[in-house]
Chain A
Amino acid sequence: MDVLSGLMQGFAVALQPVNLLWCFLGVILGTVVGIMPGLAPSGTIAMLLPLTFAMNPAAAMIMLAGIYYGAKYGGSTTAILLNVPGESASVVTCLDGHQMARNGRAGPALGIAAIASFIAGTVGVLGLMLVAPPLARMALAFSSPEYFALMSLGLAMVVLLAGRSLVKALLAMLVGLWLSGIGTDLFSTTSRFVFGQLELLSGIDFVVVAIGVFAIGEVLACMEVRGQGQLLPVPRGLRNLLPTRRDLKDSRFAFANGSVIGFLIGVLPGAGSTIASFISYGVEKAVSRRREEFGRGVVEGVAAPEAANNSETGGALVPLLTLGIPGSTTTAILLAALVLWGFKPGPLFISDNPALFWGLVASMYIGNVMLLVLNLPLVPLFAQVLRAPGYVLYPLVFGVSMVGVYSVSGSLFDLGLLAAFGLLGYLMRKLDYPAAPLILGLVLGGGMERALRQSLMMSDGSLSILATRPISAVMLSLALLILLIPLFNKVNSWRLRALEQNGGVP
């Protein structure tokens, strides 16, 4: 199926009224989640995942993806008006966005963020559409050793970019691998790490861990303080939100730079939208004729990171849908969603499920248009969400989390696990252990062990199979090199600078 006919089929799926409705709900919810500091799309998607089991998978995927990219639009609103990133990828937008707002240009800052998000979001989807099918065809040549190497490479990237301490990131990943190993080993039917609990024989549900670590852990961290930040006034009326012709001219390169960098970084596992926006901002500053004004409220300083942040979404879906390898926490949760609905993300995903893949791609075009149309006139309304007191919002997150977990298994034991993982998520934040490697270790652990054991069966127990096959040898060498990076001072200082901007969240 060529790209054009695939896209036509996708629009036929995405334009069904019910799918348009789910797309609309997803982008609205995503925008609200992006606006709320402390609530991340990963936690929201994890929380809502159980409630999608009764839905048509295409509709559910369209809605969850809408939350994913919608949150990136919303994050800029909080960054600009409150100087607090609504989600981690908006950290860089605070630098110039909030300064523009303080200079009385909140409207154009919000407007340029929405326009940059729209342009780059569309470019990202275009990239996904063009890159994913050929990559999937290439990945058909992969066997167990290549998959093991690929997963090792993905985990190494996530570990490298997840936290200031590589040791802590590695430890978090190992805890994830351990959690993935709890339950019955399918090769030998041996029960592993079940502590005598029958409920653990089938393993720990990914949903329980994801909701606990992200939703409950985040809310607990938010509940540490009672107060809220000072919100700058929101301009009303579309005319006050539109950037000037000069603003658009100044942002031309930033749109292109952010779109390309965002997509390329998105394809790499582990880097994520925060790193993408940071690099795009750096490139924009480096090539700008007025680089000394960056940080004081220049419009390109908003356009570049917002573009990169949104284009990254399309890139991040490439390895997820073609290789079954998620590069970030949100895509890890989307992977779990696909598996729970009975799909097998990997090289055959697009050819086996063209309606789902192309429907998702088409819905992302539509969702980006919806977000642009909604975000410009409705920013003042969305900003009111920031005035919602914590005592209204946070207990509701507890409630939705509990209902979500119970709806999956109907087990009170899993609700106990939810509380335990909530505490773990909170403690990881306090003790500076990144959560992304844990969740990726959990998602990839089972597949990694399976791939390793199958590889060793192929080679009669010899590890040399991983080194003698060219693709796996290259990927494992890269993974090793990545883990050795902290030993090189210059590269490591770049990594740490990136993470300071990032807050350690891929």
Chain B
Amino acid sequence: MKRVGTPDFWSGLALAGLGAYIITEAAQWEYLGQDGPGPGFFPLWYGIAMAALSLGLVVSSVFRQPGSDERIDWGKASRALAAWVALALSVAALKLLGFLVAFAALIFFLVAVMYREPLRVAATMALASAAAFYVLFALALGVPLPAGVLGF
């Protein structure tokens, strides 16, 4: 087991787990009934295919020669993941803060922290974007925006 740390190894393992879950679930549903194939028929087969292929990927990743293109640049990835965490937090905060406040906070974080722009630029961007979204979507197009406890 020389190369258990590669992205292919871990992603293959995760997909093998998903394949096993699909097989387990599908096995509980009818496979073939009087009216033809049941709800378990199709999932069982793609679950088996997924488990087999992902295990193949895991095994091949262990025995393959290392290649430089397989490495992940975690420095770059951490920027993207930080942006994603900010997005996920703003989605989680929608129920409490509503779209306008949560979105403004998201923009402020991205501009000020991730792009290291001056705070006044970030604040202007956040307020202007939230206002523009409200005018364009809520007022002009009549598209509902998630409201928070304050009612907007």
CB of A456 within 8 A of CB of B83, answer no
A379-421 to B contact mask, C-beta < 8 Å, 1/0: 0000000000111101110110011001100101001101100
A219→B11 CA distance, assembly (Å): 22
Number of B interface residues, CB 8 Å? 61
Task: Given A223-B80, A406-B145, A418-B91, decide whether A192 and B43 contact each other with a Cβ distance below 8 A.
Answer: yes
B137 at the interface (CB under 8 A from A): yes
CB of A402 within 8 A of CB of B57, answer no
Task: Given A426-B80, A453-B41, decide whether A174 and B53 contact each other with a Cβ distance below 8 A.
Answer: yes
CB of A403 within 8 A of CB of B43, answer no
Task: Given A171-B50, A177-B46, A423-B84, decide whether A431 and B11 contact each other with a Cβ distance below 8 A.
Answer: yes
B77 at the interface (CB under 8 A from A): yes
User: Chain B residue with minimal CB distance to A450?
Assistant: B42
A421-444 to B contact mask, C-beta < 8 Å, 1/0: 011001100111100000000000
**Chain A hits for B146, CB < 8 A:** 406, 412, 415
A341 at the interface (CB under 8 A from B): no
A197 at the interface (CB under 8 A from B): no
Task: Given A426-B84, A431-B7, decide whether A457 and B35 contact each other with a Cβ distance below 8 A.
Answer: yes
CB of B115 within 8 A of CB of A175, answer no
CB of B42 within 8 A of CB of A171, answer no
| Interface members, chain B 20-73 (any A CB < 8 Å) | 22, 25, 29-30, 32, 35-39, 41-43, 46-47, 49-50, 53-54, 56-57, 60, 72-73
CB of B129 within 8 A of CB of A422, answer no
A219→B106 CA distance, assembly (Å): 14
Task: Given A223-B80, A406-B146, A453-B37, decide whether A170 and B87 contact each other with a Cβ distance below 8 A.
Answer: no
CB of A453 within 8 A of CB of B42, answer yes
User: Chain B residue with minimal CB distance to A398?
Assistant: B87
User: A190: which of B29, B37, B56, B92 is its contact (CB, 8 Å)?
Assistant: B29
B139 at the interface (CB under 8 A from A): no
**Chain A hits for B137, CB < 8 A:** 403, 407
User: A224: which of B80, B99, B103, B116 is its contact (CB, 8 Å)?
Assistant: B80
CB of A171 within 8 A of CB of B125, answer no
Kindly provide the distance from the CB of A448 to the nearest chain B CB, expressed in whole angstroms: 8
Task: Given A170-B49, A431-B11, A453-B37, decide whether A226 and B29 contact each other with a Cβ distance below 8 A.
Answer: no
User: B94: which of A226, A396, A415 is its contact (CB, 8 Å)?
Assistant: A415
| Interface members, chain A 23-67 (any B CB < 8 Å) | 51
**Chain A hits for B115, CB < 8 A:** 226, 389-391
Kindly provide the distance from the CB of A173 to the nearest chain B CB, expressed in whole angstroms: 9
CB of B144 within 8 A of CB of A407, answer yes
A483→B13 CA distance, assembly (Å): 23
**Chain A hits for B110, CB < 8 A:** 223, 391, 394-395
Number of A interface residues, CB 8 Å? 60
Kindly provide the distance from the CB of A247 to the nearest chain B CB, expressed in whole angstroms: 38
Kindly provide the distance from the CB of B33 to the nearest chain A CB, expressed in whole angstroms: 8
CB of B29 within 8 A of CB of A192, answer yes
**Chain B hits for A406, CB < 8 A:** 99, 144-146
**Chain A hits for B8, CB < 8 A:** 431
A225 at the interface (CB under 8 A from B): yes
A167→B146 CA distance, assembly (Å): 41
Kindly provide the distance from the CB of A24 to the nearest chain B CB, expressed in whole angstroms: 19
**Chain B hits for A175, CB < 8 A:** 15, 18, 50
Kindly provide the distance from the CB of B3 to the nearest chain A CB, expressed in whole angstroms: 15
Kindly provide the distance from the CB of B16 to the nearest chain A CB, expressed in whole angstroms: 10
CB of B99 within 8 A of CB of A187, answer no
User: Chain A residue with minimal CB distance to B86?
Assistant: A398
User: B91: which of A178, A395, A416, A430 is its contact (CB, 8 Å)?
Assistant: A416
CB of B18 within 8 A of CB of A412, answer no
User: B84: which of A51, A185, A192, A422 is its contact (CB, 8 Å)?
Assistant: A422
| Interface members, chain B 96-140 (any A CB < 8 Å) | 99, 103, 106-107, 110-111, 114-117, 125, 129, 133, 137
**Chain A hits for B87, CB < 8 A:** 216, 398, 419, 422
User: B18: which of A170, A178, A219, A457 is its contact (CB, 8 Å)?
Assistant: A178
CB of B39 within 8 A of CB of A171, answer no
CB of A403 within 8 A of CB of B37, answer no
CB of A391 within 8 A of CB of B117, answer yes
User: A402: which of B39, B83, B103 is its contact (CB, 8 Å)?
Assistant: B103
Which among B106, B107, B116 has the greatest number of chain A C-beta atoms within 10 A? B107
**Chain B hits for A177, CB < 8 A:** 42, 46
A449 at the interface (CB under 8 A from B): yes
CB of A167 within 8 A of CB of B56, answer yes
13 sampled A-B residue pairs with Cβ under 8 A? A171-B57, A175-B18, A223-B79, A394-B83, A406-B144, A406-B145, A415-B146, A419-B88, A423-B84, A427-B11, A431-B72, A433-B11, A456-B36
Given A192-B29, A398-B106, A407-B143, 14 additional A-B pairs, CB 8 A: A171-B15, A174-B46, A188-B30, A220-B84, A224-B73, A395-B106, A399-B129, A406-B99, A406-B146, A410-B144, A415-B146, A423-B84, A426-B84, A431-B11
A interface residue numbers (CB < 8 A to B): 51, 167-168, 170-171, 174-175, 177-178, 181, 185, 187-188, 190, 192-193, 216, 219-221, 223-226, 389-392, 394-396, 398-399, 402-403, 406-407, 410, 412, 415-416, 418-419, 422-423, 426-427, 430-433, 448-449, 452-454, 456-457, 460-461
